[in-house]
């Protein structure tokens, strides 16, 4: 399973690192692991949640509280369809890795 640094997540999602740290405080279940150096390490599940929060807040114009409530409601649906959602997460992880690789070579 791929893990992403906060800089890579910012590159993948367009969400600034200070916003990501704020969302950790107000969104239940959104807490990336930290490595031995104390740096945040994001899983594909967290990247998916960041993309969903970004969509709800910036496209659908939810408040942060409304987006949080929506994420909680959606998590119940996800648990009921775990196998399908697991496949989707794996595909998104592959796509995220491909995007980072493309960006890396494009910047050279």
Q: What is the architecture of the domain spanning 4-106?
A: Orthogonal Bundle (1.10)
Q: What is the pLDDT of residue 1?
A: 57
Q: Which residues fall within 8 angstroms of residue 79, CB to CB, at 6 or more apart?
A: none
Ordered by start, the domain boundaries in the chain are 4-106
Residue listed under structure tokens 């893990």:
3
pTM: 0.74
| Residue 53 structure tokens | 């929060």
Q: pLDDT (tens digit, 9 = 90+) per residue, 29-70?
A: 888 999 999 999 999 889 989 999 999 999 999 999 999 999
Is the confidence at residue 85, as pLDDT, over 70?
A: yes
Q: What is the pLDDT of residue 18?
A: 96
Q: pLDDT (tens digit, 9 = 90+) per residue, 8-34?
A: 999 999 999 999 999 999 888 888 999
**Cα of 8 vs its chain's centroid, Å:** 11
């Amino acid at each position: 399973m791929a893990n992403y640094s906060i800089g890579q997540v910012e590159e993948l999602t367009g969400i600034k690192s200070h916003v990501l740290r704020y969302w950790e405080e107000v969104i239940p279940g959104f807490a990336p692991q930290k490595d031995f150096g104390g740096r945040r390490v994001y899983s594909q599940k967290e990247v998916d949640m960041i993309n969903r929060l970004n969509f709800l807040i910036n496209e659908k114009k939810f408040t942060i509280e409304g987006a949080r409530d929506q994420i909680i409601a959606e998590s119940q649906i996800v648990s009921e369809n775990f196998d399908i959602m697991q496949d989707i997460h794996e595909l998104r992880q592959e796509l995220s890795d491909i995007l980072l690789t493309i960006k890396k070579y494009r910047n050279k």
